Amino acid sequence: MTEKDFILSGYQNLKKEGKVGYKSPSNIALIKYWGKRANQIPANPSLSFTLDACATKTTMSFERLAKPAENFSFELYFEGEPKPDFKPKIETFFKRISPYIPFLKEYHFVINTGNSFPHSSGIASSASGMSALALCLMEIERGHQPTMDDDFFLKKASFLARLGSGSACRSIEGSIVQWGKHDAISDSTDLYGVKYSDEVHSVFDNYHDTILLVDKGEKQVSSTVGHNLMHDHPFATQRFEQAHRNLSQLMTVFKKGDLDGFVKIVESEALTLHAMMMTSMPYFILMKPNTLEIINKIWAFREASKTHVCFTLDAGANVHVLYPENEKEIIHQFIKDELVAYCQNQQYICDRIGFGARKLTV
């Protein structure tokens, strides 16, 4: 498929008005996307677990305008309140997707959105937020073109979400999603995320992710700045090659249910992401002292308990603690006894692998 395949030629019926809604989850990358080319084309393939509890709910009402708007016409409410500071981000998104959603200027939209996780928790809402918005737009497009099949719907929703925020393209489906061309995955593409369809051992069913909120402050480095730092990065080529290799190895790990192998790849990916930030120019340290305390505690506990608890990190100080279903009791206890003390206001979120976005009854 190419970008052009996502442009529909004319609609069967342009609706006058309506309302749609979607709940879309966040995701946590195991193989990290860090570095991109123009139009949110990733510099390397990535793979994530779709989450379940951390999600955004968005509804979109639409009403046909008497004549097309000069600019995009929309109102935006976040948790019931008007949110003018979110508008520029949505305008940029609309601009990027308007070649693929030609009816955007034909309507006035009222967007209502909200997150299941506490705001200012330091958890990025761009993946769940952009994917929810992309799905709402696809639902409207499907209303104009009722013969659209599910495969096209999901691919195009992921494609649009990617134009909002790269990692958002991995939030449409579950429970494991891969994005970016990789030789061993035949349907892989830079254009959208695909549901991982290779064999996955049952030990990965219901995998847990407890998110420890170490620092709830504003992001020190925006994703855009961060990705750009990979352009002249001294280790960029090696890093991009490593991501390909790690993904190949992770495929074997998934097949065999090799939890020791899983731990090694996932932790190495997290530390490499942060190593890239520490070795770019300008350089950043996004971990906090408590991030390191938690990592050391996890390593000591894993050794002592012979469990498979491990961590991964986003571009920030919070820690995602990952563990299998059959070790959940002992690891929950460990988190409560030893890790929660390092969280800001003792806050953490119990999440797990999820099955993707779902339509809301509106």
Residues near ligand PMV, by CB under 6 A:
29, 32-34, 46, 126, 165-167, 223, 273, 314-315
Give whichever of 23 and 32 is closer to ligand PMV, judged by the CB atom.
32
Closest alpha carbon to 48 in 159, 211, 175: 175
Under DSSP, is residue 38 helix (H, G, I), strand (E, B) or coil?
helix
Least separation in angstroms between residue 167's CB and ligand PMV is 3
Min dist CB 244 to ligand PMV, Å, is: 14
Cα separation, 200 vs 309, whole angstroms: 19
Shortest approach of ligand PMV to residue 30 CB, angstroms? 9
Q: How far is the CB of 223 from ligand PMV (least distance, A)?
A: 3
Q: In the structure encoding, which two tokens stand for residue 23, read together?
A: 């709940």
Closest separation in Å from C-beta 53 to ligand PMV: 17
Structure tokens at 140: 């409207």
Q: Taking CA 146 as the corner, what is the angle to CA 145 and CA 150, rounded to the nearest 5 degrees?
A: 100
Q: Characterise 205 by phi-psi region: left (phi > 0), alpha (psi -120 to 50), beta (else).
A: beta
Instruction: Name the residue nearer to ligand PMV (CB basis): 126 or 290.
Output: 126
Smallest distance from the beta carbon of 126 to ligand PMV, in angstroms? 5
Whole-number Å distance between alpha carbons of 48 and 28: 5
Pick between residue 240 and residue 301 the one whose CB is nearest to ligand PMV. Answer: 240
Bond before 116 cis per omega within 30 degrees = no
Sheet holding 310-313, edge to edge: 310-313, 319-323, 208-212, 348-352
Q: Which is nearer to ligand PMV, 223 or 280 (CB)?
A: 223
Choose between 114 and 193: whose C-beta lies nearer to ligand PMV.
Answer: 193
Nearer to ligand PMV, 34 or 342 (CB): 34
